[in-house]
Structure 1
Amino acid sequence: MSLFRRCLLALAAAAVLAGALVGGTPAGAQTPPPAAPAPAAPFAIPPDMEVLFWPAERRERDLRRMPELIPHARIDPSPNPRPLPEGEPLDLDPTAYMEAERIAGVLVLQDGRVRLERYGLGLTPGDVWASFSMTKSLTATLVGAALVDGALRSTGDLVTDYLPELAGGAYEGVRIGHILTMTSGAAWDEDYTDPTSDVARFYLTPPPAGEDATVAYMRRLERAFPPGERWNYNTGETNLIGVLVARATGQPLAAYLKEKIWDPAGMESAAFWRLDAQGRESGGCCVSATLRDWGRVGQMALERGAVPGGQIASPRWFERATAQSIDFPENDRGYGFQWWTRADGTRFEANGIFGQQIHVDPERRLVVVILSSWPTATGRARSAARDAFLDQVRAAVE
Structure 2
Amino acid sequence: MTRLRTLAAALLLSVALAAPVCAQQPTPESNPAAVLFWAPADRERAFRQMETVMPHATVSRGETPVRALPVGEPIALDPSAYMAAEKVAGVLVIQDGRIRLERYGLGIDERDHWVSFSMTKSLTSTLVGTALKSGAIGSLEDPVTLYLPALAGGGYDGVTVRQLLTMTSGVRWNEDYFDPTSDVARFLQEPARPGEDPVVTYMGRLPRAAEPGTRWNYSTGETNLVGSLIAAAEGKPLAQLLSERIWSRAGMEADAYWALDQGGREMGGCCVSATLRDWGRIGLMALEDGWLDGERIVPDDWFAQAVVKQAETGDPGEGYGFQWWTKDDGIYAAYGIFGQTIRVDPERGLIIVLLSAWPRAVGQPHSTAREAFFRQVEAAVDAAPQP
State the alpha-carbon separation in 2 of the partners of residues 193 and 119 from structure 1. Answer: 32
Deviations 1:95-136 (A, max 9, x none): 111111111111000011111111111122111111011000
Aligned partners of 1:380, 1:184: CA distance in 2, in Å? 28
Matched-pair contact (CA < 8 Å) for 2:90–2:103: yes
Residue 343 of structure 2 aligns to a residue whose secondary structure is strand
CA contact (8 A) 1:264 1:310 kept: no
Whether 1:46 and 2:29 are equivalent positions in the alignment is: yes
- Cα distance in 1 between the residues matched to 2:280 and 2:220: 23
> Structure 1 188/169 Cα, relative in aligned 2: closer, same or farther at 3 Å?
same
With over 3 angstroms needed to count, the CA separation of the structure-2 counterparts of 1:144 and 1:330, relative to structure 1, is closer
Match of 1:55 among 8, 32, 38: 38
Do the aligned partners of residues 194 and 372 (structure 1) sit closer, same or farther apart at CA in structure 2, a change above 3 Å counting?
A: farther
Q: Describe the shift of the 1:241–1:126 C-alpha distance in structure 2 as closer, same or farther (beyond 3 A).
A: same
Long gaps (5+) in structure 2: 9-27, 383-387
Equivalence for 1:165? 150
Residues 360 and 366, structure 1, Cα contact 8 Å, conserved in 2: yes
Pairing 1:290-369 to 2, within 5 Å after superposition = 290-344=275-329, 346-369=330-353
Provide the C-alpha distance between the structure 1 equivalents of 2:157 and 2:217, rounded to a whole number of angstroms: 17
The one-character-per-residue Cα deviations of 1:225-263 (angstroms, maximum 9, x if unpaired) are: 111111111111011111111111111100010010111
Tell me the distance in 1 between the aligned counterparts of 2:193 and 2:273. Answer: 29
CA RMSD after TM alignment: 1.9
| Aligned residues with identical type, % of pairs | 57
Q: 1:373 aligns with which of 357, 363, 371?
A: 357
What is the aligned partner in structure 2 of residue 125 from structure 1? 110
**Are the equivalent residues in 2 in contact too, given 1:263–1:309 (CA < 8 A)?**
no
Q: Aligned AA for 2:205?
A: R
Give how far 1:224 is off: 1.2
**Dislocated runs of 4+, deviation >6 Å:** none
Which of the numbers 79, 84, 108 marks the counterpart of 1:94? 79
**What do the CA deviations read for 1:14-41 (whole angstroms, capped 9, x no partner)?**
xxxxxxxxxxxxxxxxxxxxxxxxxxxx
CA deviation vs aligned residue, 1:345-398 (integer Å, no higher than 9, x gap): x20000111111100000000010011111222112211111110111111111
Cα drift, residue 307 of structure 1:
2.9
Q: Does the Cα contact within 8 Å between 2:227 and 2:267 map onto a contact in 1?
A: yes
Output the TM-score relative to the length of structure 1.
0.87
**Does the CA contact (< 8 Å) of 2:7 and 2:362 recur in 1?**
no
| 1:343 shift after superposition | 1.9
Give the 3 Å change call, closer, same or farther, for CA 6–270 of structure 1 in structure 2.
Answer: closer
Partner SS state of residue 334, structure 2:
strand
Task: State how far apart, in whole Å, the 2-side matches of 1:5 and 1:76 are.
Answer: 33
Bigger shift: residues 118-127 or 250-259: 118-127
Where does 1:1-398 land on structure 2 (aligned, <5 Å)?
2-5=2-5, 46-48=29-31, 50-57=33-40, 58-79=42-63, 80-344=65-329, 346-398=330-382
Aligned partners of 2:59 and 2:255 also within 8 Å: yes
Corresponding residue SS for 2:213: coil
Distance 2:351 2:7 in 1: 24
Q: TM-score, normalised by structure 2?
A: 0.89
CA distance in structure 2 between the aligned counterparts of 1:336 and 1:352, rounded to whole angstroms: 16
| One-letter code aligned to 1:59 | R
3-state secondary structure, aligned to 2:301: helix
Q: Say which SS state the counterpart of residue 69 (structure 2) adopts.
A: coil
The Cα of 1:265 is off from its aligned counterpart by 1.1
Larger mean CA deviation between 46-55 and 163-172 belongs to 46-55
Task: Give the match for residue 15 of structure 2.
Answer: none
AA at the equivalent of 2:209: A
Structure 1: which 5+ residue stretches go unaligned?
9-44
Distance 1:59 1:197, change over 3 A: farther
For 2:173 and 2:144, the matched residues in 1 are separated by 17
Letter paired with 1:358: I
One-letter code aligned to 1:46: E
Residue identity opposite 1:372 in structure 2: S
Following the alignment from structure 1 to structure 2, what is the Cα–Cα distance between the partners of residues 271 and 103? Answer: 20
* Separation in 1, partners of 2:94, 2:323: 22
SS at match of 2:347: helix
